[in-house]
Chains A and B, each alone.
Chain A
Amino acid sequence: MSFKIKTILLLIIVSLAPYIITMIILGNAYRSDLEARLVSEMEYQLDITISRLDQSLQTLENDLRFIASLDIMNDVFTSDLDQRIFNLLLQKKSDLQLIGDFHVIDNNATVIASSNIERVGSSSIGVRFITIPVYSTFDQSQIAELVVEYDRENLSRLFANDEYLKYSLLANQELAANQYQIEDSLRVQGNLERRPEYTVLLEQDREFAFSILDSLARSFYFTLLIGIVVIAGIAVLVANYIVGPILLLATTARSVTNTQDYSQRVEVKRADEIGQLAGAFNLMISGIQDMLSRLKEESENKIKLAQEKHRTEMLQNLSTKLSKYLSPQIYESIFSGEKDVTLGASRKKLTVFFSDIVNFTSTTDQMESEDLTLLLNQYLNEMTRIALQYGATVDKYIGDAIMIFFGDPGTQGVHKDAQLCVEMAIAMQKRVRELRDEWQAAGFTKPFNIRVGIHTGYCTVGNFGTENRMDYTIIGSAVNLASRIESSAEPETIFISEDTYLLVRDHFDCLPASTVMPKGLSQPIQLYRVQTEVDQSQSTILDEDGFHLRVQPREINPQSKQRIQQLLQKLADDLKESD
């Protein structure tokens, strides 16, 4: 059952219940009281009627007494010879419209005078209803009796009977025989005061008596019906007034749920609780709408952030990968924003380094591709690590050759850059020697030797290429010269140009080496060979079949010396014994 129906029923019940209860109570009370009231009213009417009858009887008696007291009654002595009494009685009968007769009876019980002339002389009469003694006017002796024969109709004709209200004048014995005129009736009775043997019975038809109640009941039911209709109508209006906005709220809520359109609002312009509910609902929807908007915005932002993060991570991964192809200095300069990735260049004085593996092609032809890759990668990796350790910019790898320069993008000054470049070259040579031992231990029979060329001069450094594809590199004659110097260098040596030499000679021992004629120059350039630690300490090198000996006295610590002596002594002894 819907709330609306419940509301309507509740309103009808609440509205009509007091009315119905009141009407039922009043109806019952009235019904129970009505009979008493009717009986009371009947008793009152009966009293009046009885009073009238008694009064009538009294009047009759008074009349009789008056007649009896008249002088004319003295005519009794003359047997009403002149019929004066007769005329008087006849006149009185006529005046009273008496149903019955007056008789004057003398002391001998003979009718002397009568309103019925035929009864004169008779000695018997009917029922004496009233008997009044007649006295002579002169000696007050009773000379006769004035008697009235009286029909009950004389009284009953005074009754105001109608169809529903009937009076009866009954003798007591008749009353005992239940001689009622109306079978189902309200009855009241009373005795005549003057004639107690007679009872006046008043009957009122019960159906008629209560017809007013039935009429009232009909009015009540009609009013109730009208009331139900009116109240039902009002209840429907009130229910619509109450439930309508709620249904609108429910409809809107469902619509919002189905359509997810949170811009919908409930139009209830009322200041009461329902209006407040609608306002709160609108406020809630508005809040949800705002929240959803914020959530959507935040979600979009999160997606953007995620995309951005993904892109950043991708860029980071990409940049990390790209960084492998770039010198860390270049990478950091670009990614720190110090350098724009735009085409452009500048001239700087740089120290340019070239190295390559001596006889790389002939050496590697006999190697398996996997081994070559392993060796070359390890070599390049180690060299690059050293270069980066010294702050160099690794320009590019050209097969087995490495091009490195100092002075851009970071520089510690031309002198220091040249010094660091030479130190790096020495460290690389040292590391190559160490690697050579490891490779030999690993089974590679022809290890690498590298040669290094270094020149310091002005170069054009920057991004070269197109907007879509560019390289950060250096170009210029100094680069070519450095390459030439490297080509001129002997295996396991470091050749530097004179320009470099002048910058580092205070720090390294250098010996004049060959000269080189660069293209486009008329004068040869003097090259210098940097004296490495090997050059200075390597006293003996023996490389024979079945015997390899390399001694680096500086690196032999005191604890090892004795064991080396013992080993060499034992080797000499063994060789001698084998001969």
Chain B
Amino acid sequence: MRIATLLILLMLTPLLYAADYAVVVARSSQITRLEIDNIKDIFLRKRNFESGIKLVPVNLLGDDAMRRNFEQEILQMDRETISRYWVSNHFQGISPPATQASLLSIKLFVERVEGAIGYLPLEMIDSELKVLYEF
């Protein structure tokens, strides 16, 4: 019971933080909703088109907590796994997503680049953006 309770708690923990961030696209984007797996595939460059639009995932540069959170929540991979993944895909001509150094630049990038898809804190999301997934 206690274990079940713990598991439940553990399962509920993300829900406790899920409302902080969101995967966003430009308001003008044709994309309206994506599942977490879809987002994962997009950021792992396994899925490049959505609704006939070439997708441009943009990642936050560096070792920011938000990026770690995104990788943990969405990609569900630690940094080392991700690094090995990109090394192995590099030789197949598949590069990691573009990066931006700041959340603001991610916001602008998503707004200005067609097909761009990024993640931002919820508080930065304004009317120019469209939330596809919150976490």
Residues of A that sit less than 8 Å from B by CB: 71, 74-75, 77-79, 81-82, 84, 136-139
Q: Which chain B residue has the least Cβ–Cβ distance from A84?
A: B101
Complex Cα spacing A136 to B116, Å? 12
Knowing A78-B108, A78-B109, A79-B108, the reply to whether A138 touches B102 (Cβ < 8 A) is no
Indicate whether B12 reaches chain A with its CB closer than 8 angstroms. no
Residue of A nearest to B95 (CB): A137
Question: Least Cβ distance of B20 to chain A in Å?
Answer: 23
B112 partner, pick from A71, A78, A84, A139, beta carbons under 8 A: A78
Number of residue pairs across A and B with beta carbons under 8 Å?
42
The 8 A-B pairs of least Cβ separation, nearest first, read A82-B101, A78-B105, A78-B108, A81-B105, A138-B56, A74-B98, A77-B112, A77-B113
* A78 to B116 CA separation, bound complex (whole angstroms): 12
Chain B residues in 8 Å Cβ range of A84: 101
Chain A residues in 8 Å Cβ range of B15: none
B116's closest neighbor in chain A, by CB?
A: A77
| Minimum Cβ distance to chain B for residue A144 (Å) | 13
Q: How far is the CB of A422 from chain B (nearest CB, A)?
A: 191
* Chain B residues with CB under 8 A of A81: 100-102, 104-105, 108
CB pair B108 A138 closer than 8 Å: no
- Residues A138 and B112 in contact, CB atoms below 8 Å apart: no
Partner of B102, one of A77, A79, A82, A137: A82
Q: Could you write out 11 A-B pairs with CB less than 8 Å apart?
A: A71-B95, A74-B100, A77-B116, A78-B100, A78-B108, A78-B109, A81-B104, A82-B100, A82-B105, A138-B98, A139-B54
Name the CB-closest residue of B to A137.
B98
A285 and B62 alpha carbons, distance in the complex (Å):
125
Chain B residues lying within 8 Å of A136, measured Cβ to Cβ, are: 113
Query: Is the interface on chain B under 10, 10 to 19, 20 to 34, or 35 or more residues?
Result: 10 to 19
| B99 touches A (CB below 8 Å) | yes
Q: How far is the CB of A67 from chain B (nearest CB, A)?
A: 16
What CA separation (Å) do A231 and B47 show in the bound complex? 99
Q: Given that A82-B101, A82-B102 are contacting pairs, would A139 and B56 also be in contact in the complex, using a CB cutoff of 8 Å?
A: yes
Chain A's nearest CB lies how many Å from the CB of B119?
16
For the complex with contacts A81-B102, A82-B102, A139-B56, 10 further pairs of A-B residues with Cβ separation under 8 Å are A74-B100, A77-B109, A77-B112, A78-B105, A78-B108, A78-B109, A78-B112, A81-B100, A81-B101, A81-B108
Bound complex: CA A84 to CA B95 (Å)? 20
Interface of B is mostly: mixed
Cα distance, A78 to B104, chains bound together (Å): 9
Residues of chain B contacted by A77 (CB below 8 angstroms): 108-109, 112-113, 116
Taken residue by residue from 107 to 133, chain B's Cβ proximity to chain A (1 for < 8 Å, 0 otherwise) reads as 011001101100000000000000000
Q: A138-B54, A139-B56 are in contact. Are A75 and B105 (CB under 8 A)?
A: yes
With a cutoff of 8 Å between Cβ atoms, the chain B residues found around residue A75 in the complex are 100-101, 105
Q: How far is the CB of A68 from chain B (nearest CB, A)?
A: 15
B24 to chain A, nearest CB (A): 15
Within the assembled complex, what's the spacing in Å between the Cα atoms of A71 and B57?
13
CB distance from A104 to the nearest CB of B (A): 15
Residue of A nearest to B112 (CB): A77
Residue ID in chain A nearest B57 by CB atoms: A138
Contacts of B98 in A (CB 8 A): 71, 74, 137-138
Chain B residues in 8 Å Cβ range of A137 = 95, 98
CB distance from A271 to the nearest CB of B (A): 98
**CB closest chain-B residue, reference A143:** B113
Note all chain A residues with C-beta closer than 8 A to B105: 75, 78, 81-82
Name which of A74, A84, A138 has the most chain B CB atoms within 10 A of its CB.
Answer: A138
B102 touching A71, Cβ below 8 Å: no
* Complex-state Cα separation, A74 to B109, whole angstroms: 9
Distance (whole angstroms) from the CB of A121 to the closest CB of chain B: 16
Chain A residues with CB below 8 A from B56, complex form: 138-139
Q: Give Cα distance in the complex from A74 to B113, angstroms.
A: 10
Residue-by-residue, is B15-51 near A (CB-CB < 8 Å gives 1, otherwise 0)?
A: 0000000000000000000000000000000000000
* A71 and B99 contact, CB distance less than 8 A: yes
How far does the alpha carbon of A87 sit from the alpha carbon of B100 in the complex, in Å? 14
Q: How far is the CB of B75 from chain A (nearest CB, A)?
A: 18
Chain B residue with the shortest CB-CB distance to A82 = B101
Measured between beta carbons, the chain A residues less than 8 angstroms from B109 are 74, 77-78
Q: Which of chain A's residues have a CB closer than 8 A to the CB of B54?
A: 138-139
Residue ID in chain A nearest B45 by CB atoms: A138
**B101 — which chain A residues lie within 8 A by C-beta?**
75, 81-82, 84
Given the complex of chains A and B, what is the CA–CA distance between A138 and B42 in angstroms?
13
> Chain A's nearest CB lies how many Å from the CB of B44?
14
Q: Which of B56, B95, B104, B116 has the most CB of A within 10 A?
A: B56
Residues of chain B contacted by A139 (CB below 8 angstroms): 54, 56, 115
Closest to B102 in A: A82
Measured CB to CB, the closest approach of chain B to A85, in angstroms, equals: 11
Residue of A nearest to B107 (CB): A78
CB distance from A156 to the nearest CB of B (A): 38
Nearest-CB distance from A512 to chain B (Å)? 207
User: Given the complex, which residues of A lie within 8 Å of B113, measured CB to CB?
Assistant: 77, 136
Nearest B residue to A72, CB-CB: B99
Cα(A81)–Cα(B116), bound, Å: 17
CA distance in complex: A139, B99 (Å)? 15
Interface code B61-103, partner A: CB below 8 Å = 1, 0 otherwise? Answer: 0000000000000000000000000000000000100111110
- In angstroms, Cα B133 to Cα A573, docked, is 242
- Give bound CA distance, A137 to B116, whole Å: 12
Q: Kindly state the separation between the CA atoms of A136 and B112 in the bound complex, as whole angstroms.
A: 13
Q: A74–B54 Cα gap in the complex (Å)?
A: 16
- In the assembly, what is the distance between CA of A545 and CA of B74, in Å? 231
Alpha-carbon distance A77/B98, docked complex (angstroms): 11
A137 to B95, CA, bound (A): 9
Nearest-Cβ distance from residue A495 to partner chain B, whole angstroms: 199
Cβ–Cβ < 8 Å partners of A79 in chain B: 108
